[in-house]
Amino acid sequence: MTSAPQDEDAVAAFTIEGAPARGRFARLGAGTVDAILNRHDYPLPVAQLLGEAIVFAALLGSLLKVEGVLTVQAEGDGPAPLLVAEHRTGGALRGYARVGARDLSATRMTPADLIGAGALTITLDQGADTAPMQGVVPLEGETLSQCAELYFERSEQTPTRVKLAVGQELTGDGALWRAGGALIQRVAADEARGATEEAWSRAAILFDTLTDAELLDPALPIDRALFRLFHEDGVRMAAPAAVVDRCTCSRERLAALMQRFDPTETADLVEPDGLIHARCQFCARVYLLEPGT
């Protein structure tokens, strides 16, 4: 059995019957995380962590009820000192990591070992007329999932469980990056629900049994994965919303940026062909610009 088309590169909202919890489940593949990671020759631990950050950004962005740009950024002084994942209104995703020259041959590293002494920052930018909202937590968890839960605990004061997974599927055309993620959050009590502590604890315990294989398996539809977890209580899933790999760069934007500089400041950027070769750090696209234009 193969995954339904709507399960690929999509995020689905769900609720658990009788429990004070809401959640999201994301499944990313060829059209998003694979394309993003393959644009750069990232060492394996960097690709794994960036993939997790991208799926986390997709989960967080899907929770928003306002338009804007949701950015997940980890910055420090380690061998990969900067990692950025971004979700924009409409489900557009992009991601980038800066990698130093140190050996990164390990198959997996903790966020602190990879990024270094630093912090995880979540920013929501709704545009020029609204001040950005931002939360910052240290990179204290053994995994990005744990760092994410710490963010919700300290910045949002919302009990939250987070699961993130990244792996490669071997296909006839080679290795394909896949990422999966899920989260549940406790909903505030009201008169209809009454006491919610026990129901939330049960939902959290069941959620914690979710495995990396279930998050990633393209042959396991999202609705079936949720049914495995919560079939005794009942679970309702909304129609999945698509996410896409889409950068914001353009020749026009880069040209406008270059015009802010005096020609003498950009002279060293001119290549032997007489043009400035501007490369987008996110999508790796190269734009050829004439100096002074």
Q: Is 132 left (phi over 0), alpha (psi -120 to 50) or beta?
A: beta
What is the predicted pLDDT for the residue at 5? 46
Q: Mean pLDDT highest for which of 130-134, 205-209, 278-282? A: 205-209
Report the alpha-carbon distance of residue 203 to residue 234 in Å, rounded.
Answer: 11
Distances in whole angstroms, Cα of residue 40 to Cα of each of 68, 203, 243, 270: 26, 39, 21, 24
Distances in whole angstroms, Cα of residue 66 to Cα of each of 51, 62, 88, 227: 25, 10, 11, 30
> Which of helix, strand or coil describes residue 229?
helix
Helix axes 144-151, 44-63, angle to 10 degrees: 30
Burial (CB count within 10 angstroms: exposed 0-12, middle 13-18, buried 19+), residue 240: buried
Report the alpha-carbon distance of residue 25 to residue 66 in Å, rounded.
Answer: 20
* Range name among 1-5, 52-56, 65-69, 205-209 with the lowest pLDDT average: 1-5
Q: Is the dihedral of CA 53, 54, 57, 58 positive or negative?
A: negative
More confident residue, 213 or 279: 213
Pairing relationship of beta strands 10-16 and 21-28 according to DSSP bridges = antiparallel
Report the alpha-carbon distance of residue 188 to residue 195 in Å, rounded.
Answer: 10
Determine the average pLDDT of the residues in 248-272. 77
Spell out the domains of the chain, with CATH numbers in brackets.
5-245 (3.55.30.10), 251-289 (no CATH)
25-69 pLDDT, tens digit per residue, is: 999 999 999 999 999 989 999 999 999 999 999 999 999 888 899
DSSP H/E element including 210: none
Pairing relationship of beta strands 244-245 and 92-98 according to DSSP bridges = parallel
What is the predicted pLDDT for the residue at 293? 61
Q: Which two tokens stand for residue 283?
A: 């999508």
Task: Please state whether the predicted TM-score (pTM) of the whole model is above 0.85.
Answer: yes
Report the alpha-carbon distance of residue 228 to residue 224 in Å, rounded.
Answer: 6
292 pLDDT tier (thresholds 50, 70, 90): low
281 pLDDT tier (thresholds 50, 70, 90): confident
Q: How many residues does the chain have?
A: 293
E strands along the chain, which residues? 10-16, 21-28, 69-75, 82-88, 92-98, 119-125, 133-138, 160-171, 174-186, 235-237, 241-242, 244-245, 276-279, 286-289
Q: In whole numbers, what is the pLDDT of the chain averaged over residues?
A: 88
283 pLDDT tier (thresholds 50, 70, 90): confident
